[in-house]
Structure 1
Amino acid sequence: MIIENDSIIERKFTTLNAIIFDLLGFLYREVSNAKNDPSVLWKRVTKLEALLSFCRKTLASHDVDCQQRNIVIRARGMEAGDDQTATIFIITPTYKRETQIPDLVRLSHTLMLVPNVFWILIEDAEKPSKSVAKLLSTSAVPGIVLNVATPPKYKLNASSPHWLLPKGAAQRNLALTWLRNNSPKLGHGVVYFADDDNTYSLKLFSEIRSVRKVGVWPVGLAGGQLVERPIVEKGKIVRWLVSFKPERPFAIDMAGFAVNLSLILQHTHAEFKYEVARGYQETQFLSSLITVDDLEPKADNCTRVYVWHTRDSPPKLKGEWALKKQLGISSDYGMEEY
């Protein structure tokens, strides 16, 4: 199966999607206000919904069924260093929880607005789930779903703080292996590790696409700060404005850097490890690829925030537990997960 990443066509469909969503919202509001004949308005809504469905299907057919074993990405004009057409390979570890699907839906809607991306989703599970596969297949974002379980001794307990053990190492490593194994088919691109619960400005992806080696930028709401960021002088990173272990060579959040695919392919042993000191996952990985002097400051010399390390709070489900106790069933009984 071939993906012909035609950014012009993709942008047209993305724009059309956005316009139709706006029109639908307007018409729904008109109906609720009852200022016009509801029957006429609902007919318009139905027509627009049909048009939206057609656009989605057309865009999806332009992309790829990434569950096929043989995947070829043929990007037109993708020469080395051509940042206008470079593919952004998004690596997203994910795990089963109440907010997993809502988080992934939100991220998929962001990625639908970004031309020329390939989304690698890796489930922390021994077996793949139908819900994540269905989410990807219906999102119109080209990508693939992989799965690998975190070794039991590195799994967090429900009561453990989120920072106690490294998360997502096995999943990110599997994605790196997939990229290396499929490198003859991939062309040129940039790799970005995007957690499923972060918030991303579309401006970030323009910064990512232009990365030649390793690009860095600030991350909002990271490390207990409003912003964690590199300090830039004369185009070079001179230090890191962080409170936690600022002496780290790469005192940066996972969301704060992207790596050109060529470096991943050249350094075949570069991977994430569990046996590293707290906060050193990024340093350990980046040290195997590059030196601090070679980092590329992005986001207007690291003065702008385009990504936020947001984290969902566990939902309060007292009513759910009460329902199970009363009726012996859950509220989503008989429903598909997605």
Structure 2
Amino acid sequence: MASIRRTLSPYNDRSYQNGSNSPFSVQSPSQKLLSHGRTTLSPVRRFITGLFLQKHYSRKSYQFSWKKSLVRCLLFFFLGFLLGMAPFNNDFNELRNNDLRNNDFSFEMKPAVVNVEKNVGDLGFVERPKENDVVVDAVKLGVSERNDRNEVKRILDFEPRKQLIVVTPTYNRALQAYYLNRLGQVLRLVRPPVLWIVVEMNAASMETAEILRNIGIMYRHLVCVKNSTDVKDRGVHQRNTALEHVERHRLDGIVYFADDDNIYSLELFESIREVSRFGTWPVGMLAQSKNKAILEGPVCNGSQVIGWHTNEKSKRLRRFHVDMSGFAFNSTILWDPKRWHRPTSDPIRQLDKVKEGFQETTFIEQIVEDESQMEGIPPGCYKIMNWHLHLEAHQVIYPSGWMLQKNLDLVIPS
């Protein structure tokens, strides 16, 4: 087997190249490719081979021109560009003639045309697409705007409800727990804010505190410290303790004296919120003889007080014929005299040394000057919303600690 070894020649002036005029030559792969290119290679391969391997062969073996290759390149590029931009008329005619809805697959997806109209305060609606439009998925859009002018105006004009400050004096007696629970359950049904101020004499009992905690409304448990020997009317000092508390803490609301033994309707408490300065209404009362009912309170023409109901001759000398539970007033009168143009800044309190039955009159005279500053509730003063019945049984023995010591079970022999 013959082998050909290429040795390094010590001479630098070789006159022949590899593969020409040499007694021996080893053809490289590129030369083999060029030697057989004329007969076996395609024009494209011949062009690429000539483009990259031009410098490896001589012009004598194969004549190649850069101009020809450049012209061919531009020609191919131009043909490719024309083929890419030319439309296929046959395919488009088929798409036009055939109904896309009868085909199983559609490669052209047209989104649904949706028209959304905004209406202030209403939900937007979506217009259905035409039959010729292709709908991929059902689209439902809704535009909700809470810019209703009436709604916004109502929110901006919102005024919080006035606070009711209900003052209740109480003392230890047989039906105290019943009265407090009954009044507390009524106040629980009144819309808040409601503040219940319960005042006891000398000490706060644990039983009263437990009732107040279980009612479930906002309350304050106060104590009136007063020597019982000097007290003519216990309720007067208890109410004054509550008035001092309202004035000291500048509580804003409508003050109402609600004794625990009276009967009240929910409508009364809702009507009191409308009082601006001083409001009054008629009260149904049971006479001392307990054989007839009498009416005490204002006579109204709309909301204007024009007179008073009274059936007792001894009380005709009173300026205002009204019961203690028959009026309510704005609490700011107690601690803001400039707002109501009061002539003096003296504290407004109930008087203990006046004659019985005149407590209401002397107290109201400190708040208003005459009937023109009063408001009749409800308009016309035609409805009785609370009753003062005087049903207290004075001879019932009050059990110590609100607990019955003896067992009340009765054993019946068989």
The normalised TM-score by structure 2 is 0.52
Equivalent in 208, 218, 230 of residue 142 of structure 1:
218
2:319 maps to a residue whose letter is P
1:283 maps to a residue whose letter is T
Equivalent in 303, 313, 326 of residue 256 of structure 1:
326
2:389 maps to a residue whose letter is T
- Relative to 1, partners in 2 of residues 1:151 and 1:301: Cα closer, same or farther, differing over 3 Å? farther
Unaligned ranges ≥5, structure 2: 1-154, 338-345, 408-414
Equivalence for 1:111? 187
Equivalent in 145, 158, 166 of residue 233 of structure 2:
166
Q: Match of 2:161, SS?
A: coil
- Relative to 1, partners in 2 of residues 1:132 and 1:266: Cα closer, same or farther, differing over 3 Å? same
Contact 2:301 2:379 in 1 (8 A): no
Equivalence for 1:14? none
Contact 1:91 1:194 in 2 (8 A): yes
Equivalent in 265, 273, 285 of residue 221 of structure 1:
285
Equivalence for 1:295? 374
CA deviation profile, 1:2-60 (whole Å, cap 9, x unmatched): xxxxxxxxxxxxxxxxxxxxxxxxxxxxxxxxxxxxxxxxxxxxxxxxxxxxxxxxxxx
- Relative to 1, partners in 2 of residues 1:265 and 1:238: Cα closer, same or farther, differing over 3 Å? same
In the alignment, does 2:308 pair up with 1:231? no
2-structure distance, mates of 1:266, 1:288? 14
- Relative to 1, partners in 2 of residues 1:87 and 1:175: Cα closer, same or farther, differing over 3 Å? same
Contact 1:99 1:312 in 2 (8 A): no
- Relative to 1, partners in 2 of residues 1:277 and 1:331: Cα closer, same or farther, differing over 3 Å? closer
2-structure distance, mates of 1:139, 1:297? 31
Contact 1:223 1:242 in 2 (8 A): no
2-structure distance, mates of 1:229, 1:257? 9
1:264 Cα deviation from its structure 2 partner = 2.1
In the alignment, does 2:101 pair up with 1:101? no
CA deviation profile, 1:118-173 (whole Å, cap 9, x unmatched): 0000012x221001111111110101101114543455xxxxxxxxx534011001
Q: Match of 2:357, SS?
A: coil
Q: Which structure is higher in helix share?
A: 1
Contact 1:166 1:281 in 2 (8 A): no
Equivalence for 1:278? 356
Q: Match of 1:284, SS?
A: helix
Equivalent in 358, 383, 391 of residue 312 of structure 1:
391
- Relative to 1, partners in 2 of residues 1:140 and 1:284: Cα closer, same or farther, differing over 3 Å? same
Could you list the structure 1 runs, at least 4 aligned residues long, displaced by more than 6 angstroms after superposition: none
Equivalence for 1:246? 316
Contact 1:251 1:283 in 2 (8 A): yes
- Relative to 1, partners in 2 of residues 1:207 and 1:154: Cα closer, same or farther, differing over 3 Å? farther
Q: Match of 1:136, SS?
A: helix
Which structure would you say has the larger RCO, counting Cα contacts within 8 Å and 6 or more residues apart? 1
Contact 2:303 2:378 in 1 (8 A): no
1:256 maps to a residue whose letter is G
Equivalence for 1:266? 336
2:245 maps to a residue whose letter is W
1:297 maps to a residue whose letter is G
Q: Match of 1:258, SS?
A: strand
2-structure distance, mates of 1:239, 1:166? 28
Equivalent in 168, 176, 192 of residue 92 of structure 1:
168
Q: How many residues align?
A: 236
1:228 maps to a residue whose letter is E
1:189 Cα deviation from its structure 2 partner = 1.1
In the alignment, does 2:249 pair up with 1:182? yes
Q: Match of 1:145, SS?
A: strand
Q: Match of 1:109, SS?
A: helix
1-structure distance, mates of 2:378, 2:363? 22
1:112 Cα deviation from its structure 2 partner = 0.4
Q: Mark the structure with the bigger radius of gyration.
A: 2
Q: CA RMSD in A?
A: 2.9
Q: Match of 2:319, SS?
A: coil
1-structure distance, mates of 2:406, 2:335? 46
Equivalence for 2:266? 202
